[in-house]
Structure 1
Amino acid sequence: MPCRAARRLYKTLGRRGCFLAILGVGKTCWGISFLVDPPGDQGLELLTSVCSLRHWAWLWIGCGLAVLVSAFLRVGRDGLGFLAALAPPTVWATAYTVAVITGDYSRGGFVAIWYLTSHVGVIMWAATVPEYSVPPAPRPRRRGKAA
């Protein structure tokens, strides 16, 4: 029964929806981690000058839930999910870049590049992948049946 449910869920979501669902759960969990045990704010002074990291956690949680909901939308209507997925890592990359420019956090340049490549870049690439770009694998012929 669990395999049947997994197949049904995969068929409902498709490739893009699965990607969005994984992102949505991940971003939501990352935001919750900021509420449960906030990390230090080194390199994020631009954000913490506006409000605390606990408040910024809600950006991750809200966008994560929006991404998760958009995973169940049809292809073509899931674009807002990809935009919501881009918001938190873009904000964090901007904060780290500013920290490098102002001299507050020299390591921030590497963290910003990490956010821009492994988050923003991957999300932008996945947004361009069509749902059915690879033809289905051919099924083997049945033996013993007349054609």
Structure 2
Amino acid sequence: MPCRAARRLYKKLGRRGSFLLILGTGKTCWGLSFLLDPPADHGLKLLTDVCSLRHWAWLWIVAGLVTVGSAFLRIGRDRIGFAVALVPPTVWASAYTAAVISGYYSRGAYVAIWYLTSHVGVILWAATVPEYSVPRAPRPARRGKAA
């Protein structure tokens, strides 16, 4: 029974929707971790000068929920999910880059590159992947009566 439900869900979501569902779930969980047990703010001074990490956690949570919701939209309309999914890692990469430039957190360069490649880059790539990349087989020619 669970396998049938998973197949039905995958058939409903497709490749792009499945990616958005997984990505959105991860973003929501990441945001919850900042909300429930915030880590040290190493390299995030640009953000914590504005408000605490608990408040920034809501950026991840809301983006994750919008991304999950977009997984159930038709292709083309799911673009909102990909666009919103880009916001949190871009903000975090910007904060770490600012920390490197200001000399506050030298390790931030590696973290910023990690966010830009494993998050932003993957999301941008996945947004361009068509739902079905294999072309459909051509229909065989019909046998007709010659006139």
TM-score (norm 2): 0.91
Asked if residue 40 in structure 1 is aligned to residue 78 in structure 2, the reply is no
In structure 2, what is the equivalent of residue 110 of structure 1? 110
Question: Any idea what SS the aligned residue of 1:73 has?
Answer: coil
Shift of 1:35: 1.0
How many pairs were matched up? 137
In structure 1, what is the equivalent of residue 2 of structure 2? 2
Q: Deviations over 1:49-91 (max 9, x none)?
A: 0000000000000000000000000100000000110000000
Q: Deviations over 1:77-136 (max 9, x none)?
A: 000000110000000000000000000000000000000000000000000000000358
In structure 2, what is the equivalent of residue 21 of structure 1? 21
One-letter amino acid matched to 1:44? L
Which runs of 5 or more structure 1 residues have no equivalent in the other structure?
A: 137-147
Give the Cα separation in 1 of the matches to 2:3 and 2:85. Answer: 29
The correspondence of residues 48-87 of structure 1 with structure 2, limited to 5 A, is 48-87=48-87
One-letter amino acid matched to 2:45? E
TM-score (norm 1): 0.91
In structure 2, what is the equivalent of residue 119 of structure 1? 119
% identical aligned pairs: 78
CA-based RMSD: 1.2
Question: Any idea what SS the aligned residue of 1:69 has?
Answer: helix
One-letter amino acid matched to 1:75? I
Question: Any idea what SS the aligned residue of 1:132 has?
Answer: coil
One-letter amino acid matched to 2:18? C
Runs of 4+ off more than 2 Å: none
In structure 2, what is the equivalent of residue 91 of structure 1? 91
Give the Cα separation in 2 of the matches to 1:45 and 1:62. Answer: 22
